[in-house]
Chains A and B, each alone.
Chain A
Amino acid sequence: MKLELRGITKRFGALVANNNISLTVESGEIHALLGENGAGKSTLMNVLYGLYIAEEGEILLDDVVQKFAGPGDAMNAGIGMVHQHFMLVPVFTVAENVVLGHEQTTFGGRLDLSAARAKVREISDRFGFDIDPDALIEDLPVGVQQRVEIIKALSQDAKVLVFDEPTAVLTPQETDELMTIMRQLAASGTSIVFITHKLREVRAVADRITVIRLGTVVGEASPTATNAELASLMVGRAVELTVHKNAPELRGTALAVKNLSVIDSRNQIVVNNVSFDVQAGEVLAIAGVQGNGQTELTEALLGLQQHVTGSIELDGKPLRGYSVRHILDSGVGFVPEDRTEDGLIADFSIAENLMLDRSSGAPFVKAGNLQLGFRAKFAAEKIHEFDIRSQGSEMEAGRLSGGNQQKVVLARELSRDLRLFVAAQPTRGLDVGSIEFVHTRIIETRDSGIPVIVVSTELDEVVALADRIAVMYRGEIVGIVPGNTPRATLGLMMVGEHAPATEAAL
């Protein structure tokens, strides 16, 4: 089916998310929609899927103008979507999720789940998926959950399939398999819209590329374009894709973690007997697919997890079992992975956010009184130093862009006297400019002799920053390898295969 978008404009108040966007996807074509985080790709697709109503413009399928009042209409017209955040109910089975909204019933309104199971089996056989229709979604790995999303779309006879940032949660191997599935679908006549900001993937699979920047189409490109060309089109200026750094100047072991295990509230061992150490002046990157224990590991380092065994020593002093306050005072700086949830208080001003973890005493608080003058001066300095684009230090942090919010978090943590710096997903959801900034600051921190731990699910980021890479899989460290380890090896380690000569790499 041929899909055509003509002059789509979507506004949120004063913000123009999509400005007069036109796009054509031919039948059986894989059309990549490339753009930075916040460029308006997802908004455009939500308009296509009937979740948002556009102010202007029209959607045509096989040259017929469509009117979508809601996702139901779009689905009936043959549009399917694989959402970035999976639209699956975690406590339902695969079959229940697939039929939700299109249930068949037998006598008395009784749900006909056997028909649903048959449908799941039929589609998963067609693509060789091997999925148990009665498995609970929450028990499945994310890669499989994504296949359930695909089955869900295909079960409604989708002729146009939209993949919204589908590779964000996948291992490199799963990404390759997804590419194969996309080609398979396109070959059978399905039109595919592939939304991403990852250049490598676009060039691997797309037939045509449309680049969007700040809500506007800025050009088309062919898959033969180079990474640099695509990146500069996407960002609007020449982009430095590599992080410049010198060889690390190692100054001895600072952090030593031995036999660390974390048990979560569901009694699962989420971090399993992990040992590693970090030298002052190096970046240890912890790679791995989301949900393999990285979050719990960083939280354990900061004293945020309840059931932790093993030992954590910083400069020879034990940290495990102490309060978060004590650990912060010992010089641990922490950038949490969800900045809007854990990193900032959105309703507080930039200045207030900058002193969040220092409210216990001087210089911000004296005799129980906030030192407003000092705080304002401090905030002004940090805003300047970290290039936080704002309307002043009293602006609410929630109104900043993602990149500037992250700069506030970084400024707060890096302005303390640090002995260890832990950054979890430091560039998630940021624009390229902010990513460059954050990476530069992390390397500067390293070069000043502070041990740095970077947790990232983005292999590009891991490779760019790391002096050594620890790969986590199901709560264990599969191996610790040098920073220049090939991506293919890292990819295998991310699915639990031990790399050759792991520890010897030190």
Chain B
Amino acid sequence: MSTLTESAAPVPASAPIVKPTAQIRSWKIPITFGGIAVLSLLLFVVLGRGQRGDLSTFRLSEARDLIQLPEVALPTFATGVFVAIVLVLMAAASATLVYRHRKVPIVLTILFALLFLIGFLAWAASGSTIPVPGLLIGTVTLSAPLIFGALGGVLSERAGVVNVAIEAQLLAGAFSSAVVASATGNPYLGLLAAMVAGALVSMVLAAFALKYLVDQVIVGVVLNVLVIGLTSFLYSQVLAPSATLNSPDVFSRLNIPLLSEIPIIGPVLFRQTIIVYAMYVAVAVVYFGLFRTKWGLRVRAVGEHPQAADTVGINVNRTRFVAVTLGGVISGFGGAYFTLGAVGAFNKEMTNGMGFIALAAVIFGQWHPIKATLAALLFGFATNLQNVLGIIGSPVPSEFMLMLPYVVTIFAVAGFVGRSRAPAADGKPYIK
């Protein structure tokens, strides 16, 4: 009975523990797929438009492009029927996978979403034309403040401070950039002012959260209300009576030579304002800073395990303060988009909940700068889709389309694309 000698070969000391895993059946995805598939059947087949052979046209180039791509015309009803059938099949496939204790691959989810989107666009554009470049250009433009806000949120939360005050930072940035750019006549000084304003808001957040240990969510909410009140008051008392302080120069679009002539991608990415170009840089810098530098390693360490950071001589609260402040600088810069990048004047509460959508992008993007950017782009797309469909006169009520970004947000945050894990010490003040 010497089973001792028959034991398995010794495992090397550093071999990671690989625990066996089992797939818990989660019917979340098949049910969602099924619901959408049924909706597609109803919408595209039963209530299908264009049954007399109407076409849905997708325009891929703008008139001034050097390289003109041909328009793509799809038969509306046939496309709808095809899409609906494939969606039903995919829902069935996902149900089978789950039934067999297998995971539904993320590729299937992405394909499903894309296919539904094509079907929906074809249905909505029955007998008319969807300008694809316009749809995408608007997506990037509308996403800019979301992306800046999300980057600010990522920086702050990676350091362990929950940042609910993105809305406040955006609004403060919007307000001060409008005022400074109008007063000095220099929009670049407006951008600078936006950064300063965002930093000031986040410094208040950091001070209360880190020094006075106030609940970070509460400070964030209070800051949002405070900045809304403050800017609205100043708007009605100072800006509204005299137009001189609220008429900044707006940045015009800069075409980047050559790059802007690439079909589809060129107009979308390289015919934008300086604020959008700054956004590309910001995404790259935040990613590099967080994951490739000494500073980023320390920021992530204080957000994950502040005590461990303290025991190797890192000043936890100072590191957090700097990260939160930098987050405010980025969010504030994004606020300038509203005034200097789009409207050209400050309005009461003009950020209109974008800060909260940015916060959703942070969570949906799993606290990762690139993924959060993609999430923000998705939300931006939903917003712009509503604009474009409104213009081409789609049968969907505009109120319903207005809900779309928020519906997408709720589904996204509810964890439909993988569970996200927050930095371990997010929201927890460090007390020795």
Measured CB to CB, the residues of A under 8 A from B are 49, 51-52, 70-73, 75, 81, 83, 86-92, 96-97, 99-103, 105, 108-111, 129-132, 135-136, 139-141, 143-144, 147, 152, 261, 263, 265-270, 272, 307, 474-475, 492, 496-501
Contact = CB atoms under 8 A, between A and B. Distances in A.
A86 B8 CA distance: 29
A237 to B, nearest CB: 34
14 contacts: A70-B310, A70-B313, A71-B312, A88-B308, A109-B294, A109-B295, A130-B12, A130-B13, A141-B17, A266-B21, A269-B21, A474-B19, A496-B7, A498-B7
Given A51-B432, A500-B2, A100 B292 contact: no
A492 B24 CA distance: 33
B304 A92 contact: yes
A81 B310 CA distance: 13
Contacts of B314: 72, 100-101
A103 B294 contact: yes
Interface string B297-309: 1101100110111
A105 B12 contact: no
Given A72-B313, A140-B14, A90 B295 contact: no
Contacts of A140: 14, 16-17
What 10 pairs between A and B have smallest CB-CB spacing?
Answer: A72-B313, A101-B312, A139-B16, A87-B308, A103-B294, A268-B19, A131-B14, A109-B293, A89-B305, A498-B3
B20 interface: yes
Q: Which of B13, B22, B305 has the most A CB atoms < 10 Å from its CB? A: B13
Q: Which of B1, B3, B22, B307 has the most A CB atoms < 10 Å from its CB? A: B22
B258 interface: no
Interface of B: 1-4, 7-8, 12-14, 16-24, 292-298, 300-301, 304-305, 307-315, 419, 424, 432
Contacts of B1: 500-501
B3 A500 contact: yes
A75 B310 contact: no
B14 A130 contact: yes
Contacts of B308: 86-89, 97, 100
Contacts of A75: 312-313
Report whether over half of chain B's contact residues are helix, strand or loop; otherwise say mixed. loop
B315 to A, nearest CB: 8
Contacts of B311: 49, 51, 71, 81, 83, 87
B100 to A, nearest CB: 15
B301 A263 contact: no
A492 B309 CA distance: 36
Contact of B304 (A89, A103, A111, A265): A89
B415 to A, nearest CB: 11
Contacts of A497: 3-4, 7
A102 B312 contact: yes
B20 A269 contact: yes
Contacts of A500: 1-4
A347 B7 CA distance: 50
Contacts of A272: 20
Nearest to A98: B312
A48 to B, nearest CB: 12
B298 A263 contact: no
A269 B21 CA distance: 5
B293 A144 contact: no
B294 A135 contact: no
A110 B292 contact: yes
Contacts of A91: 304, 424
A100 B293 contact: no
Given A51-B311, A91-B304, A267-B23, A498 B4 contact: yes
Nearest to B419: A265
Contact of B19 (A51, A70, A270): A270
B20 A92 contact: no
Contacts of B3: 497-500
Nearest to B303: A89
Contacts of A498: 3-4, 7
A484 B366 CA distance: 51
A414 to B, nearest CB: 35
A88 B309 CA distance: 9
A273 to B, nearest CB: 10
A131 B13 contact: yes
A103 B16 contact: no
A263 B24 contact: yes
A355 B8 CA distance: 49
A83 B310 CA distance: 13
Contacts of A261: 22
A272 to B, nearest CB: 7
B304 A51 contact: no
Contacts of A139: 16-18
A95 to B, nearest CB: 11
Q: Which of B17, B292, B313 has the most A CB atoms < 10 Å from its CB? A: B313
Contacts of A129: 13-14
Contacts of A86: 308
Contact of A263 (B22, B293, B297, B313): B22
A324 to B, nearest CB: 20
A475 B18 CA distance: 12
A475 B307 CA distance: 30
A489 to B, nearest CB: 9
B79 to A, nearest CB: 38
Contacts of A81: 311
A79 to B, nearest CB: 11
Nearest to B6: A498
B38 to A, nearest CB: 29
B366 to A, nearest CB: 12
Contacts of B296: 111
A269 to B, nearest CB: 5
Given A100-B309, A109-B293, A269 B19 contact: yes
A111 B310 contact: no
B312 to A, nearest CB: 3
Given A51-B432, A269-B19, A499-B4, 11 more contacts: A71-B310, A73-B313, A86-B308, A91-B424, A110-B293, A111-B293, A111-B296, A144-B13, A269-B22, A270-B19, A496-B7
B16 A136 contact: yes
A69 B23 CA distance: 50
A135 B7 contact: no
Contacts of B12: 130
Contacts of B19: 268-270, 474-475
